[in-house]
Structure 1
Amino acid sequence: MIYRAAEKTMETERLLLRPFTEADAPEVSVLCNNYAIYKSTLNVPYPYTIDCALSWIATHQQNFEENRLYEWAITDKLSGQLYGAIGLSNQQPHQRGEIAYWIGEHYWGNGYGTEATQAIIAFAFQEKKYHRVYAQYFQSNPASGKIMEKCGMHYEGTLKQHVYKNGAFEDIVYYGLINPNH
């Protein structure tokens, strides 16, 4: 992973993680206006309009500058195609952060989530000097857990019936990783 602080970008073998711009809003709306994305994420609304995308993107720069939350567009390094999003919270008093991501359904199964998550873990440990990162997923979305496992994260527990969504309670599964250099 190559991090360029001035541009707030990260480069991996196939991906460029970069800040979102307003110009991304139409594509974000198309990718997120998908029931499969909605049902497997905690905070993505459905339907997902361009206004939703614009409102969300409008928060990114200030959150980044104030070290609250870092969010990137997951894009193809060569074509610039937008595949999804990934973010990392900054819980500095505890030297930890939560990783969250979504990939557009058309791009599932290509390893983009795994590659982006590996870059975010490197960013968290090398650039931000976090002691720990963690992530959570709905038990009904085991593919998200596979990404966490492929990135070296470890199962830490399940919160039974922790979230109420779509008229049913969902179990939330937690994975985490301690910085090996701490």
Structure 2
Amino acid sequence: MMDYNEIIKENPILESNRLILRPFSIDDINDVFLYAGDDIVTKYLTWPSHTDVSQTERSVKDHFLDKIGTFAIELKAEHRCIGCIDLRVCTDDNKANIGYVLNRKYWNNNYMSESLNLILELSFSKLELNRVEATHYVGNEGSGRVMQKCGMKYEGLGLQEVKVKNFFYDVVHYAILKEDWINAMKVKNL
């Protein structure tokens, strides 16, 4: 059986022209606070906005540092963490689920699509997963556009599927299969 965690550990840094996906460090706390404290960014996240940098420090230490599959998104031009992308592998089903967040200052620049494409390449090329899934809540269609840009297909809508911050959200489901990703890569390289 493939050791997914070991493969992710062997590939701790993923890089594109503009971005580096890398492990979080304690030096990222102030950058993380910039988006973790923004109510617009955290509206669709399960945790409340941070009101103090000490909350962010605790969160980074408890949930980001040394967590396999959790990548800081670093903008090369600024040498700063502008977001997070998380790959959660389900070994029994040879698939993964992805979650992400991005500092609002950097929205609409294709940074998240670029990050997701790096994660999809890791997922299908190195981890040899069969399927990668992601969801977003109705109202957060920008997140769905990221998924679509990366070749993920709409699979359905779960009505009032989750309760976040005392509000029931409909959840939009997307996924991409390895064979579809390979075919899309062939088309890109023509």
Band the TM-score falls in, shorter-chain normalisation = 0.7 to 0.9
TM-score of the superposed pair, with normalisation by structure 2: 0.83
Q: CA separation of 1:49/1:139 partners in 2, compared to 1, >3 Å: closer, same or farther?
A: same
Query: Partner of 1:67 in structure 2?
Result: none
Residue number in structure 1 paired with 2:187 = none
Looking at structure 2, the residues matched to 168 and 88 of structure 1 have their Cα atoms a distance apart, in angstroms, of: 26
| Partner SS, residue 25 of structure 1 | helix
Offset from partner CA, 1:78-114 (integer Å, 9 cap, x none): 3312211101001111111101101111111111010
In structure 2, C-alpha distance between the alignment counterparts of 1:94 and 1:48, rounded to whole Å: 38
Q: Which letter does structure 2 place at the counterpart of 1:55?
A: R
Map of 2:50 onto structure 1: 47
Cα deviation, residue 132, structure 1 = 0.5
State the AA in 2 paired with 1:91.
C
Q: Residues 137 and 145 of structure 1 are in contact (CA less than 8 Å); yes or no, is this contact kept in structure 2?
A: yes
What's the RMSD between the two structures over aligned residues?
Answer: 2.1
Which of 11, 15, 33 lines up with 2:15 in the alignment? Answer: 11
1:143-182 aligned within 5 A = 143-180=142-179
What do residues 149-176 of structure 1 show as CA deviations (whole Å, max 9, x unaligned)? 0000000111001122344321000100
- 1:38, distance to aligned residue in structure 2 (A): 1.6
Structure 1 regions of 5+ residues with no counterpart?
Answer: 65-69
Counterparts of 1:48 and 1:91 in 2: how far apart (Å)? 33
After TM superposition, give the deviation of residue 48 of structure 1 in Å.
4.8
Aligned twin of 1:142: 141
Provide the rounded CA distance (Å) in 2 between the counterparts of 1:123 and 1:44.
27
Gaps of 5+ in 2: 1-6, 183-190
The one-character-per-residue Cα deviations of 1:45-96 (angstroms, maximum 9, x if unpaired) are 22353333333333445531xxxxx011111123312211101001111111
TM-score (norm 1): 0.86
2:37 pairs with one of 33, 36, 43: 33
Count of matched residue positions in the alignment of Structure 1 and Structure 2: 173
* Partner in structure 2 of residue 71 of structure 1: 70
Tell me by how many angstroms 1:139 deviates.
Answer: 0.9
